[in-house]
Structure 1
């Protein structure tokens, strides 16, 4: 079971049950899921960065 202090962020309610269930999986499966989550986070961050650069480029070309 995951425990969080009252001031600490925890997973959304819709993910909480999934994370509690993950604790019962074998380490190999946990590592695969961890890699998947890290990959999705990296993909999201990359899209944010590209979006920021793209927005900056649009502003520069619009001002010409």
Structure 2
């Protein structure tokens, strides 16, 4: 039983890590490529995403989608 739990936890943890990295990298690259945000705001958003990656990335993506509507 421990072997199954350990393997599943490891696999699930790896999947979460990959998704976390992909979300953070996507957000950071998107911030660098956009021209709608000025330099100071870019630095602030990048710091937020680095300090609180999941919440910062999701907040940025939500803010960006609401602003484009």
Aligned length: 36
Partner of 2:26: 51
Cα RMSD of the aligned pairs, angstroms, is 1.6
Runs of 4+ in 1 over 2 A off after TM superposition: none
Query: Within 1, Cα distance between the matches of 2:20 and 2:4?
Result: 24
Pair member with larger Rg:
1
Q: CA deviation at 1:29?
A: 1.2
More helix by share: 2
- Taking structure 1 as the reference length, the TM-score comes to 0.51
2:12 maps to 37
CA distance in structure 2 between the partners assigned to 1:45 and 1:30 by the alignment: 22
